[in-house]
Structure 1
Amino acid sequence: MLIIKLTDSRETLDDIEKVCLYLTTHKELLPLINTEECHDISYILKPTFRADHNESEKKAHWEKVFNEFTLADNNGDEMRFYREKQTDALYFGTKKGFETLESINNDEPAIKSRFNS
C-alpha cells in the first residue's frame, strides 16, 4: 500500500509540468512510459511563447496522462494518479492506499467534532 500526495488542491500548469519533468528525469521510469504517454508528456513540457502557455492543450494532454499512466509496485499492484473529491488534491499510489486515505478522510469530520467540542 502506497499513496503520495502531490498537491493540496487542483493541480496548476506548473504542478503538471513538475510531475511530467519528474517522470522524464528519472532513468528508471523512462522505459515504463509508452509511446502515447511520451507524446503527451513531451507536449506538456514543450516550451511555448504563447501568452497562455498553451494551457488548455497541455491540460488536455495531462488528462490523458492522469487517466492512463500506470506503474506496478514490487508486489505487482498497479500505481496510478488519483484525485481526492473534496479538495481535488492530486495523489499517486495504489488503489488500496487511496482507499485507505479516503476512509480516513471520511472519518475526519467525526474525529474533528469530538476534539473540537
Structure 2
Amino acid sequence: MTLTCITSSSLKATISAISIFVALSLPGHAKDQNNMSEHDKNLVKVCEDIRADKKVGLRQKIKALRTTPITLIKDLKCNGMDPITFAELHESNRIVSYLNQHAKPSDLLSKK
C-alpha cells in the first residue's frame, strides 16, 4: 500500500509545498524515510493517524506542525484526497467527527 501526502503552497509559512511518496510495504521504506526531513515525516504521520483513526496522535501532529485543523482540511492531501474524504474512506469515524467540528461549511462544499 502506498501512502501519499501532498500539501499545497498555500499552507502557512511552517509548511512548504512538498510531495511525499512512502511505500509502507516495501523493504526500502526505512532507507526512504532516512532521506526525509522531520517535518516531512510528521506530514506522513498525519495521514497515517487519519487512516488509523488516532485522534490524539493527529492532534499532537497538528501541534508539532504548528498549524490548524482548518489548514489541514484545506491544504493536505492523503493519497490525493482531502483529509475528510480520506478518513471516510478508511472508516475513521473519530477523525471525521473531529475534522468536521473544525471545518466551515464553505470548506466542506469546496471539496465536492
TM range (shorter): under 0.3
